[in-house]
Amino acid sequence: MSGEVRPAGGAAAVPVVGAVVVDTGCGDRVGEFRGVAGPYWLLRPVRGGREWEADPGHVRAASARERLAAWNARCNARSRGEVL
Write the pLDDT tens digit of every residue in 20-71. Answer: 999 999 999 999 999 999 999 999 998 888 999 999 999 999 999 999 999 9
- Is residue 8 scored above 70 in pLDDT? no
**Residue 34: C-alpha distances to residues 41, 80, 81 (Å):** 8, 25, 23
Predicted confidence band of residue 4 (pLDDT cuts 50, 70, 90): very low
Domains of the chain: 5-77 (2.30.30)
Rounded to an integer, the average pLDDT of 8-12 is 49
Gap between the terminal Cα atoms of the chain: 18
Per DSSP, the three-state class of 2 is coil
Q: Residue 84 — pLDDT band, cuts 50, 70, 90? A: low
Residue 39 has phi, psi (to 5 degrees) of -85, 0
